[in-house]
Amino acid sequence: MRTKTTCLLLALAAALAFADEDPATREHQFFRTYGPSPLFAENTFVNEEVEDKALPDAEAWKTRVPRAVWDGHPREVAAFADAWRMVGEKLHKPEKGTNFKRNYVYTPFGKSVFVWGSCFITMFGQYASNVFPFICQLDNFYAAQDSDGFIPRQLGIYDGRSQFERSDLSSIGGNIFAWAELEWYRYSGDKSRLRRVYPVLLAYHEWIRRNRTWKDGTYMSSGWGCGMDNIPRFDTKRYSAEFHHGFISWVDVTFQQVFNAKCLLAIAAAADLPRDKALEDEIVALTRIANERMWNEETGLYHDLDRDGSPVKARHIGAFWALLAGIAPPDRARRLAAALEDPATFAAPCGTRSLAKDNPGYEPDGGNYWRGGVWCITDWMAVRGLDACGLSDVAHRLACRHVSAIARVHADTGTIWESYDPERLAPGKLYGKPVRREFVGFSGVTPIAMLIRDVFGMDFTPGKVMWKVRLLERHGIENLTLPDGNVVSLICEQRKSAAEKPVVRVTSTRPIEVVVE
């Protein structure tokens, strides 16, 4: 009897609660059940005014950008120059009424800008920061941060907002913001920017940890979320390669988070900010899981983990994030390097295959995007990782092969492509059709950044350049405007052999230290 009475009273209370409401005025209720991150209060990008700055004209991309010099290599020199032309044609100002704050690069694709693409663009764009402040396009993502730390992976160019619901696995991914910011700091010395971005990026890292991890702390994603859309990691008849996590621990995303944590700690150290112990603990825990459970001694690679803890058989380019993340011990780093130079698995005429040649699902004709296709951004990742592990000679060989191949395809086709064929010197394909052309965009990392840093061997830091000379031909960079306004040209004269001491000629508008190795 008491239960019936209680139910009647509750029903009566509900009826009375809505008795005075006019149905025509009732509004849909939406509950935000997530609480704010305390770090969000330090995000100074959210409420900034839209910056109205004129875009550089076409002439600037001919006269104010650096010029490559490499005797006997006209194709590489031409690709370097044309890459600047391509990115210069893709600059946009924010549309009125959007959430964008800064001018940005839009490589025509999905009417959106992406985290991966925007971050990779900054890594070659730094060499023309006097023409366009590429690093500032990341401000558009920071301005879109939600109060709990969430930052969208993809922003629509007409509204500046996320193109996915927050709970969608594809809503976030490619978390390399901290890498991009640290690279800019190494080049520019801009410590004030590090202090601004640190709380934003730490809050984002924490959001991903809270919302995209399994119980052991490893990370999940989707094909779109991780940026490698259609790699066949699991049974694609049961789960979508593009949109489902497949109940596996994703080796690339897990390693990216380790690398991101290390970059955040490096930013904190450079900006004189407190170290975050949770980041340190996560690095230790995930590095242990990687080397105890993700490493496969038989294949000499790191693998995704299935839901039962066993290694997933797929062998893909994501494993090589272990190099950049500093996860691989020296002996395993050497085995990864060997795989990158093995034509039976990953080494391709254009660079590095995204899926091993002998892996089920590999598609030799054009690569079908990430089912074998060669991508400039993952070659850049692999080369940077090799260099970080002290395997700079291997990095140089891979860079020379990749840069020359992309330059050859540029000479043959007149453009730079989104991806490349895994079996021949040709553009990549998606579902049998050529991928997007004029893709600078992120493909500019190869003809520009990789040429300067890994082929020529130049590493610029404020007031100084370390130059590891390996080439015998006359080569170098002219008309490079550094962030402090110093305009420099550095040319190494031709040598007869590697034993001959390099002769380097330097001109600059301000003093600069040049250390030649």
User: CA separation (Å) from 45 to 72, 123, 140, 405, 442?
Assistant: 47, 21, 8, 40, 24
Q: How many CB atoms lie within 10 A of CB 143?
A: 22
Whether 423 and 480 share a structural domain: no
Whether 467 and 444 share a structural domain: no
CB 242 within 8 A of CB 223: yes
Distance in angstroms (rounded) separating the CA atoms of residues 312 and 3: 54
Whether 472 and 326 share a structural domain: no
Which residues of the chain, if any, have pLDDT below 70?
1-28
Predicted confidence at residue 32, as pLDDT, reads: 81
Distance in angstroms (rounded) separating the CA atoms of residues 483 and 131: 11
Whether 247 and 325 share a structural domain: yes
Q: Give Cα 432 distance to the centre of its chain.
A: 26
Predicted confidence at residue 2, as pLDDT, reads: 44
Whether 84 and 171 share a structural domain: yes
Output the CA torsion 426→176→301→368 (10° steps).
Answer: -30
Distance in angstroms (rounded) separating the CA atoms of residues 214 and 249: 7
Residue after which a domain boundary falls, among 455, 475, 509? 455
Residue 34 lies in a domain: no
Residue after which a domain boundary falls, among 455, 480, 509? 455
Predicted confidence at residue 6, as pLDDT, reads: 47
Residue 14 lies in a domain: no
Whether 467 and 445 share a structural domain: no
Residue 24 lies in a domain: no
Whether 254 and 105 share a structural domain: yes
CB 305 within 8 A of CB 249: yes
Predicted confidence at residue 24, as pLDDT, reads: 59
Residue 18 lies in a domain: no
Residue after which a domain boundary falls, among 455, 474, 501? 455
DSSP element (H, E) containing 396: helix 392-413
Predicted confidence at residue 26, as pLDDT, reads: 61
Number of domains observed in the structure of the chain = 2
Whether 515 and 429 share a structural domain: no
Whether 438 and 509 share a structural domain: no
Residue 508 lies in a domain: yes
Whether 422 and 468 share a structural domain: no
Whether 490 and 382 share a structural domain: no
Whether 262 and 340 share a structural domain: yes
The CA-CA-CA angle for residues 414, 420, 422, to 5°, reads: 140
Query: Residue 379 sits in a domain of what CATH number?
Result: 1.50.10.10
Residue 54 lies in a domain: no
Q: Sign of the C-alpha dihedral, residues 416, 419, 423, 427?
A: negative
What range does the domain containing 478 cover?
A: 456-517
Residue 53 lies in a domain: no
Q: Give Cα 76 distance to the centre of its chain.
A: 23
Q: What pairs with residue 480 in β-bridges?
A: 488
Residue 365 lies in a domain: yes
